[in-house]
Amino acid sequence: MDGKALVLDDSGVVGGNEVFKDRGTGSTWQQSSLEAISGPLKGKHLKLYPFLLTNWSEWHRLHPATLVLKPLPGYADRIPRMNQMIAAGVLDSAPAPKGVLRNDSRLKPHARILGLDVKDESEAFPVEVLSKESVVQVELGGEPVVVVHQANSDTTTAFVARADGKTLHFLAASNGSSMELVDRETKSRWSPYGTCTAGRLKGAHLSPLILEPEYWFAWSEFHAGTKIFGAGG
């Protein structure tokens, strides 16, 4: 923040969402909003760093020489049980945590969504909907946006759907076991990671956007008025 590195420690929960305190100034930061909610840096916002939402198999395919963070003792042991609970839908009917600042009943509190902020607008993409629609195109914040879901690796990416000054509209296409996209305007072929691999636009890259994996109660709490893709059919 402001050119200085911050070291953050867990500092409990505010509004049903984790908060962190930086050692340098003692400011407290809200996880979902990335905002300092108290201390000398109150009102400042951290910048979300780009990341890829995927599984280990796909990540290792893309980055075979990757390093892996070693979990703290006992942490890894809890993950399989939590994954079983999620897969079994145990959390689906659970209420929002105590203390949430705002409740939005349009989805169940623990519905899993991918949230997207573009300029001054936000939209939530339910994972359940994305599992049925591999390519989704919307307008958000005045920008054409394409969201791509690869079911075989549970990988989701999002981009500004524009290249060479043109707004593009995409369709899913297959290339053996891997997924590709084809744009209607030039019939060029694209990887699900935003790179044009063949056609008139070969070598072009779509500008990536950052999808945030959240439970609905957490996303809606800090994104009042957010759109929901697929709402109302």
Per-residue pLDDT of 104-114, as tens digits, reads 999 999 999 99
- Ramachandran angles phi, psi of 117, nearest 5°: -110, 125
Give the confidence band of 174 by pLDDT, cuts at 50, 70, 90.
Answer: confident
Tell whether the model's pLDDT for residue 233 goes beyond 60: no
**How confident is residue 162, by pLDDT bands cut at 50, 70 and 90?**
very high
Length of the chain: 233
Q: pLDDT band for position 79 (50/70/90)?
A: confident
Average pLDDT over residues 117-132: 94
Beta-bridged to residue 143, according to DSSP, are 140
Residue 2 pLDDT exceeds 80: yes
Does residue 187 carry a pLDDT above 90?
yes
User: Which pair of tokens denotes residue 210?
Assistant: 């950052």
Indicate the average pLDDT of the chain: 92
Q: pLDDT-derived band of residue 121, with 50, 70 and 90 as boundaries?
A: very high
By the 8 A CB rule, do 149 and 142 touch? no
pLDDT above 70 as % of the chain: 97
Q: How confident is the model at residue 81 (pLDDT cuts 50, 70, 90)?
A: confident
> CA 99 → CA 15, 121, 136, 192, distances in Å?
5, 25, 34, 39
Query: For the chain, what percent of residues have pLDDT higher than 90?
Result: 75
Mean pLDDT of 135-147: 97
Looking at residue 232, its pLDDT comes to: 61
Give Cα separations from 22 to 37, 44, 135 (angstroms): 12, 13, 39
Contact yes or no for 168/175 (Cβ under 8 A): no
Number of H helices, E strands in the chain: 4, 18
Classify residue 3 as left (phi > 0), alpha (psi -120 to 50) or beta.
left
Q: Counting Cβ atoms within 10 Å, is residue 76 exposed (0-12), middle (13-18) or buried (19+)?
A: exposed
